[in-house]
Amino acid sequence: MCGTVSCIAWSSKSPLKLTNSWNLFIYRLWSTIYDGVFDRYFASRGRLRALEVLNLQPGERVLLMGIGTGADLPLLPEGIWANGIDLSQEMLERANAKLSLLKCEVALIRGDAQYLPLHKDVFDCAILNLILSVVPNGAACLQETMRAVKPGGRIVIFDKFLPDDGRLTLSRRLLNQITMFFGTDITRRLLDIMTGISCIKTHDEPSLLNGAYRIILLKKLHSG
């Protein structure tokens, strides 16, 4: 595991790239302040609305991709079964501390959201809150989610994306070199991430920062 900024090679000809090594480092730091700073004052409203859109039902089994510190856990209704996966051990330890307060069954797994250690067609639905802009390969993360979800299953996404028809400006490219240091990519388009994946979009609404963040509901069409 790398522990310095040199984990990410940078030059004017080679822009910053997210890697698992960097995410392990930066989210170890984030784990100590994430709930009290970022989620409490910024992301909590988006998470709550995403769960409303997903409309979980008793008896359903749900996959939480990039569960982090478990900020979504208190929003889960009674009577569901959940698995949460994250790459960061430190984030999972924070999530584990919340389990005793829940009224549903949750199992935590340390693993890579781009290569899930799970069988196909297992889950009724999945929650992808603030993960597709964080993993090195967002398309791989979504593809693995679809593989794990049953045909007809629902996937809710709360994250920041470029508009599908929007131009990637130079200023945004430059700003992205900064946001990458904090473990997030602000240049991704959901349309690109969804390319070649057997799903349809059934809901799309603007969320935080005047729609820079969106809440999207996808439906899996058939077995992956």
Q: Is residue 150 part of a domain?
A: yes
User: pLDDT tens digit string along 7-37?
Assistant: 333 333 445 688 999 888 888 887 887 777 6
pTM: predicted TM-score of the whole model, two decimal places: 0.88
Q: Which of 99, 94, 157, 91 is nearest to 83 (CA)?
A: 99
Please indicate, yes or no, if residue 123 is contained in any of the structural domains. Answer: yes
Residue 145: in which H helix or E strand, if any?
helix 138-148
| Domain count across the chain | 1
User: Of 144, 25, 136, 7, whose CA–CA distance to 91 is shortest?
Assistant: 25
Sequence-distant (≥ 6) Cβ neighbours of residue 77 within 8 angstroms:
56, 58, 103, 104
Which domain range does residue 174 map to? 16-220
CATH number for the domain harbouring residue 147 = 3.40.50.150
Q: Is residue 1 part of a domain?
A: no
The pLDDT tens digits of the residues spanning 49-85 come to 999 999 999 999 999 999 999 999 999 999 999 999 9
Instruction: Residue 202: name the closest of 154, 159, 164 by CA.
Output: 154
Domain annotation covers residue 10: no
- Paired strand residues for 205: 215
